[in-house]
Structure 1
Amino acid sequence: MPDLLIELFSEEIPARMQAQAADGLKKLVTDALVERGLLYEGAKAFVTPRRLALAVHGLPGRQADQREEKKGPRVGAPDGAIAGFLKSAGLSSLDQATVQSDPKKGDFYVAVVEKPGRPTPEVIAEIIPAIIRSFPWPKSMRWGSGSLRWVRPLHSIVATFGAEGDEPEVVRFEVDGIVSSNITYGHRFLAPAPITVKRLDDWMAKLEAAKVVVDRDRRKDIILADAKNEAFANRLELVEDEGLLDEVAGLVEWPVVLMGAFEERFLDIPDEVIRATIRANQKCFVLKDPATGRLANRFLLISNLVASDGGAAIVAGNERVIRARLSDAKFFWDTDRVNGLESRMPRFQSITFHEKLGSQAERIERIRRLAVEIAPKVGAPAALAEDAALFCKADLLTEVVGEFPELQGLMGHYYAQGEGLAPEVAAACEEHYKPQGPGDRVPTAPVSVAVALADKIDTLVGFWAIDEKPTGSKDPYALRRAALGVIRIVLENGLRLRLADVFTGHFKLADQDIIRTANEARIKRVEDALGDQGGAVVGNDVAMWVSRKFGDRTADSRSIDLLSFFADRLKVHLREHGARHDLVDAVFALEGQDDLFLLVERMTALARFLDTEDGRTLLAGYRRAVNILRIEEKKDGRAFAGPTDATLLKEPAEERLADAIEQVKGRVAAAVAAEDFETAMTALADLRGPVDAFFDAVTVNDQDPALRENRLKLLDEIRAATRGIADFDRIGG
């Protein structure tokens, strides 16, 4: 079957757009083909800095013929309706239509419209120009006098169609003056002459000979293999960087790995700063000396050509730029160490964290106070947690972090270490940002844990206090990530932390800063309008204004709301690890469930219990009891709440059930108080037999109203017994 080859040849496509563009071209073309009845066997997209291409295999030579019956008006309909029908069906007279009968609607006209399939090249010639003109580039440009917008000026279009062994035909079309052909071009410098191509294998082979590797994954493999070999030949190790590898593969069509060097004096700079400098400015890989474990004064660059001088001039140019950049980095590093972290702290007073939450200095103070509160709960010395919280943000004002924001935290570690601060404090300066994503590790050192929790909880409480919560897909302050960070830190460290108490206390602290910030802004606005006298007048009215604005906002109610948000995040986290989210709901529904570690322990034990025969049977019995209870409560318009009246227990089965409930309640309460959830589940399992026996032997809706009410209360007692473990109403399945 024939194959299609499309190549769009242009000026350099930005590397960051290439992968998405290749996927987009493949989807747009294949969807359009299928929509027109042209099914295919396979498709693959290719992209290099100067070309975007697609090969579609196994297309039919033409569309299948189509036969469509078009229903018309009733026989005897007005002339206008008849004329419209004939026109839409492409008929010249009613003699070309047939008459069909409908028992309900009578006789009506039907036209059989035959649509012969068109040759596939003809269909492609319609599809491709439309896709090119509307291609969804993130950014595009227009050049010359034409109207076409493309990511960079488009020079030529290859479009061939044909079967293996045949001479393919050129699919003829034109886009803004560019006529499709079978002519492409090789490497800009090494093989710029025009090349005539046929189909995919011929196109790939001829471009390879013209110094163009069209397969992006193969270019990546070549770069990685050559880089490792070059490093090994110099007794060094490549520091692999997948993100950089993706980027440089999009910058070259014929990758050539070259090695450069820089002065050893720059090795005094931290390795991460050297790597960030070389990566950001020259897109080069760094190398490690296996003997020392630190970076070597070498780097690898990826050239796009084979130079006549072996690449000496290219290497020299990169060395010159890297030398200048490392000189700047060394200056920043030395300057930062001279000034010290503490000297930067006063500057935070003039930096706004958020217009409603005050300055960075106020935020740091909130983190300090919260870290001191959390420290004893996580086994951290309060004094060290306080020092770490005070200095954890200081590196944000350093020169190195100003140049490379991605090094925040890490540089704080280096500076704190250099100033002789406690190792725990230095580590916390780096680790308090963690985890920053699902694949990032969580801090385990107690001081780091205390500051990390304080930092994330302050962020959540602060934005909750000013009602800046995530909505739908929008989360500008990364509050979901902060909540997941807290959850992972608590669970992976096995921490026992009552979040409701922490939230409530911190809401009160945050409100003080919110009120102060709002007051200051309000007074300033009035002073700007009325002068100092106006400011004095408004100052007397501040208390009343604050009361009106914040009087209905309680810390407890917002803590409950924030805990609900944590429940949702916990469900997401546990679901990713195979847990049932309905069990999280069932446990979270109980009062006071703000100890995440204990909650997960309880949920895990509940999941194991429900996987047993006792658990499944008890759940079925529970649902039967609750369904009966709900129906009767709705019928009577009132609730039937226990306890039962022992004198009204007439049947042996209901007496045994009542006794079993009382015993199970006590055993469950004792086991839960001891945090022994396995024993609590074992106790709950003892209800299975009495519940089954009750439903087999006892009629709940007895004719005696007193007996009926007492038995309904007994059903409520079953619900009350299970509430010691979870809210079984929320368990699905």
Structure 2
Amino acid sequence: MLVEIGTEELPPTALKRLSEAFADQLSTQLTEQRIGHGNLERFAAPRRLAVIIQDVQVRQPDQETLRRGPALAAAFDAQGQPSKAALGFARSCGVEVDALDREQTDKGEWLCFRQQATGERTLTLLPALVEAALGRLPIPRRMRWGDGDAEFVRPVHWVCGLLGAEPVPGRVLGLDIGTGSRGHRFHHPDRVQIPRPEAYAEALRAASVEPSLELRRQAIREQVLQLAASVHGHADLPDDLLDEVAALCEWPTALLGRFDADFLQVPAEVLIETMQKNQKYFPVFDDTGALMPWFITIANIRSRDPDLVRAGNERVIRPRFADARFFWEQDRKTPLADRRDALGSVVFQHKLGSLLDKSRRVAGLSRHIAGLLDYDQDEAERAAELAKCDLVTAMVGEFASLQGTMGRYYAQHDGERPGVVAAMEEQYLPRHAGDRLPTSDAGRTLALADKLDTLVGIFAIGQRPTGVKDPYGLRRAAIGVLRILIETPLALDLKDLLWQAAFGYRGVVEAEDAVTQVFDYMMERLPGYYGDMGVAAEVVDAVLSLGPQVPSDIDRRILAVAAFRQLEAAEALSAANKRIRNILKKSGDGIAADIDTTVRPEGLQEEAERRLAQGVEQMRARLAPMHAAQDYEGMLRTLAGLREDVDQFFDQVMVMTDDAELRRNRLALLRSLEQLFLLTADISRLH
């Protein structure tokens, strides 16, 4: 089966997602209608979405429906005449009582009506299935065109549908379904007849359209790499740019262009941003990674005069580079430090003040964090004071994504210390999942302070993220702080840092109440963070249930518990801890109770409890140096040695005895054993 929807140019950044969703929804519709089918092949180009599905059943299978009526005892009277219930049931089924069947079940015999429904032809059902699939596509805003009621992401100009060699009768989105497609807008504007679905791809290729998004992407990649090699360079091929360019053309043709080498005096990041974001060009680099005065563009035509196309692209890029060079030269005339007052006119958040206010808060917090880490406090504070100054430069005004990057260049030009220079860009790290972390001292303190200030301030005014809305990037900020503290690692108390950030808002907003909210929000991110590493959520919960506040320490505990779970003794000890917890809870001596854990040796009667008590005392001595060294994995491995003693204790000793003193002594033993495990985590939470 072939279904193709021909449109005006589709949004390039959404093409791949739309193609996948169309195929998935079409498959779902067929399945819901009990139409069996095989593999799906997706096609997507700027002016079309298409799907070919193998082995489609040409008709729904017949279906028997069974309706159960009244019980036989209630369906007939003593003379065998049908009751009102039987007559009403027969009437609702459209038959006489004599036409009803009987069904024997465990609960008795019932009147029933069996009806055989003949399956409909797939051809008859297809228009409605296609409409339903299109209606479920992830399109935020649909448009109308002409005077019809049809809605889609772009106006639809043709619909092609075939089941084998048979045309699909009917209409979709207000258009009659046909058997033709259309070729390249310029090379082959005429209709392209499709005799059978398996001829679809080759028919379009003959009309200068490569219908496969993946094959176009691959062709672009190969052509770009080949042209870059022709000038002894290599091309940068970011996935998102490659996807977008592949979605912009039907018949890609790569062309090599050149620009004036004098523009290379401008920072490479600026030129690359202009080429990739504005022009969709692929920059070319030499073997050292330096930008070369070449670019590669992808045309959507095979020009009879490619030099003319090349010259046009070179002419377009020249004024953009000239503007960038002007911004670069003008910005450097004013030092970053002299721009700080201008931040006062830029609003950070109307309830939280300007960027200058934020800069002052972050400077104080950076100095505090640097002191905790024994870093250079003056350098950390200086970095924070200059951090946002590049936001009021002409270059960042034009290229917002270069904030931080341009700050680094301008700070270096101003003669700032190397640590301050590095911090200008590192303040935004990590920018996304898997991104690198700041490596300089000032960069780490600034990245932490900036993110913590934003988190506390935005939570304090009641704008925490909800659903998919996160305008201030708080999820990214929370994960960024956790990653810096965990992966660097830095032994800092997160809640203390949040309190310090809240103090910076005194006189602005009441931020103290936000501290616990932000801390809890950040802890809620940890199961997902460790889940990406294959660590189960229950392992994270076993650690967080104890209320630790130092993320680097939390990390050691979580990894230790994850390793402990692999031990043979883990399941038994976890079950034993659950049992201990339940016993203490029933006795009124819960986990948080401040009870006497002193075990009186003379009160130990059974050999099993004496052996466990001795093991606990020996463990306490062995664990002390491990705990001081935060060797949590070593602690849990050592505690695993108690498994046999714990098993024998529960097999041979009655804890809740009627003897009050004996019961108290045994409870104290269990509590002291529990406390040894709680030095690392609450393993009773492991399943």
Aligned partner of 1:710 in structure 2 is: 665
Residue among 442, 445, 448 paired with 1:447? 442
Q: Which residue in the other structure is 1:124 paired with?
A: 126
Could you report, residue by residue, the CA deviation over 1:74-118 in whole angstroms, capped at 9, with x for unpaired residues?
Answer: 6357769846754x5454x3443334567867653x222122222
Q: Supply the AA of the counterpart residue of 1:630.
A: K
1:629-677, Cα deviation, whole Å (9 max, x unpaired): 3334499xx9964334455334454444444434433443443234344
Aligned pair partner of 2:534 in 575, 578, 582: 578
SS in structure 2 at match of 1:512: coil
Within 5 A, what are the aligned runs for 1:592-671? 593-613=548-568, 616-633=571-588, 641-671=596-626
Q: How does 1:221-370 map to 2 (within 5 A)?
A: 221-290=218-287, 293-309=289-305, 311-370=306-365
* Mapped contact 2:90–2:97 kept (Cα < 8 A): no
Equivalent position SS for 2:114? strand
CA 1:505/1:49 → structure 2, altered by over 3 Å: closer, same or farther?
A: closer
The unaligned stretches of length 5 or more in structure 2 are 77-81
Q: Secondary structure at the match of 2:578?
A: helix
Residue identity matched to 2:181: T
Alignment check: 8 A CA contact 2:489 2:552 kept: yes
Aligned to 2:99: 96
Question: How far, CA to CA, are the matches of 1:712 and 1:326 in structure 2?
Answer: 78
User: Which stretch of structure 1 is more off in the superposition, 240-249 or 601-610?
Assistant: 601-610
Q: Whole-Å Cα distance in 2 between the matches of residues 609 and 57 of structure 1?
A: 49
Matched, 1:17 2:14: yes
CA 1:634–1:241: 2 relative to 1, 3 Å: closer
2:39 to 26, 42, 50: 42
SS in 2 for 1:302: strand
Hey, what's the Cα distance between the residues in 2 that align with 1:463 and 1:299? 43
CA RMSD of aligned residues (A): 2.9
Deviations along 1:520-575, whole A, 9 cap, x unmatched?
xxxxxxxxxxxxxxxxxxxxxxxxxxxxxx5xx7x4x7545543333332332223
Matched, 1:723 2:675: no
CA deviations over 1:429-456 (Å, ceiling 9, x no partner)? 0011101222201112222111111112
Question: 3-state SS of the aligned residue for 2:619?
Answer: helix
> 3-state SS of the aligned residue for 1:706?
helix
Task: Indicate whether 1:75 and 2:70 are aligned.
Answer: no
Change (3 A) 1:288 1:125: same
1:57 equivalent among 54, 73, 88: 54
Is the alpha carbon distance of 1:175 and 1:598 closer, same or farther for their aligned partners in structure 2, counting shifts above 3 Å?
A: closer
Deviation for aligned residue 1:305: 1.1
605 and 35 in structure 1: CA distance in 2 versus 1, 3 angstrom threshold: closer
Deviations 1:190-248 (A, max 9, x none): 11122221223312112111111111111111111111112222333222222121111
Deviations 1:318-338 (A, max 9, x none): 222211222222222222111
Verify the 8 A CA contact 1:431 1:443 in the aligned structure 2: yes
8 Å CA contact retained: 1:240, 1:285: yes
Q: Secondary structure at the match of 2:43?
A: strand
Match of 2:5 in 1: 8
| 1:415 positional shift | 0.9
The answer to which of 207-216 and 667-676 deviates more is 667-676
Residue type at the aligned position of 2:100: A
Farther off after superposition, 377-386 or 559-568: 559-568
Alignment partner, residue 656 of structure 2: 701
Give the letter aligned to residue 191 of structure 1.
H
The answer as to whether partners of 1:375 and 1:385 remain within 8 angstroms in 2 is yes
Question: 459-468 vs 8-17, which deviates more?
Answer: 459-468
Q: Does the C-alpha gap of structure 1 residues 502 and 155 become closer, same or farther in structure 2, counting only changes over 3 Å?
A: closer
Confirm or deny: 8 A CA contact 2:100 2:113 kept in the other structure.
yes
Q: Which residue type is aligned with residue 676 of structure 2?
A: A
Q: 1:539 aligns to what?
A: none
Partner of 1:732: 686
Task: Check the 8 A contact 1:368/1:390 in 2, yes or no.
Answer: yes
In structure 2, do the counterparts of structure 1 residues 152 and 585 end up closer, same or farther at CA, with 3 Å as the change threshold? Answer: closer
- Of residues 174-183 and 426-435 in structure 1, the stretch that sits farther from structure 2 once superposed is 174-183
CA distance in 2, matches of 1:699, 1:138: 65
- Which among 157, 160, 165 is matched to residue 158 of structure 1? 160
Tell me which amino acid in the other structure corresponds to 2:359: I
Deviation (angstroms), 1:249: 1.0
Deviations 1:323-378 (A, max 9, x none): 12222222222221112212221121222212332221111111111111112444
CA distance in 2, matches of 1:480, 1:136: 24
User: What does residue 393 of structure 2 align with?
Assistant: 398
Name the CA distance, whole Å, in 2 between partners of 1:102 and 1:396. Answer: 78
Alpha-carbon distance in structure 2 between the residues aligned to 1:678 and 1:151: 55
- The code of the aligned residue for 1:148 comes to A
Say if 1:583 and 1:157 are closer, same or farther in 2 by CA, change over 3 A.
closer
Equivalent residue, structure 2, for 1:568: 524
Q: Secondary structure at the match of 1:513?
A: coil
TM-score (norm 2): 0.90
* 2:79 match: none
1:387 has 2:387 as partner = no
Match of 1:66 among 52, 63, 68: 63
The equivalent residue for 1:526 is none
Greater shift in the superposed pair: 126-135 or 456-465: 126-135
Equivalence for 2:505? 510
Look up the match of 1:587. Answer: 543
Measured after TM superposition, the shift of residue 483 of structure 1 is: 2.0
Shift of 1:19: 1.5
**Aligned-partner Cα distance in 1 for 2:24–2:641:** 59
2:214 and 2:133 map into 1 onto residues whose CA distance is: 25
* Whole-Å separation in 1 of the counterparts to 2:622 and 2:8: 77
The 8 Å contact of residues 567 and 585 in structure 1, kept in 2 or not, is answered as: no
- 2:169 is paired with a residue whose SS is coil
Answer yes or no: is 1:188 the counterpart of 2:191: no
2-structure distance, mates of 1:348, 1:207 = 56
Please state how far the C-alpha of 1:40 moved relative to its aligned partner. Answer: 0.5
Contact 1:7 1:157 in 2 (8 A): yes
For 1:133 and 1:661, locate their aligned partners in 2 and report how far apart those are by CA, in whole Å: 66
- Given that residues 567 and 584 in structure 1 are in contact (C-alpha distance below 8 angstroms), is that contact kept between their aligned partners in structure 2? no
**Aligned 8 A contact 2:68 2:110 in 1:** no
The separation in 2 between residues aligned to 1:600 and 1:131, in whole angstroms, is 45
Shift in CA distance, 659/68, structure 1 to aligned 2, threshold 3 Å: closer
Structure 1, residues 32-75: CA drift from partner, whole Å, max 9, x if none?
21112211011112111111111111012222222222234563
Matched letter for residue 258 of structure 1: L
TM-score normalised to structure 1 length = 0.85
Does the 8 A contact of 1:362 with 1:513 survive in 2? no
Q: Which SS does the other structure have where 1:180 is aligned?
A: strand
Contact 1:133 1:148 in 2 (8 A): no
2:207 to 196, 207, 210: 210
2:147 alignment partner, SS class: coil
The verdict on how the C-alpha distance between 1:115 and 1:325 changes in structure 2, with shifts beyond 3 A counting, is same
Q: Report the CA distance shift for 1:451/1:122 in structure 2 as closer, same or farther (over 3 A).
A: same
Q: Deviations over 1:691-724 (max 9, x none)?
A: 4444444333334333233323332232233333
The amino acid that maps onto 1:712 is L
* Superposed CA offset, 1:233-282 (max 9, x none): 23332222221211111111111112222222222211111111122322
Distance 1:686 1:287, change over 3 A: closer
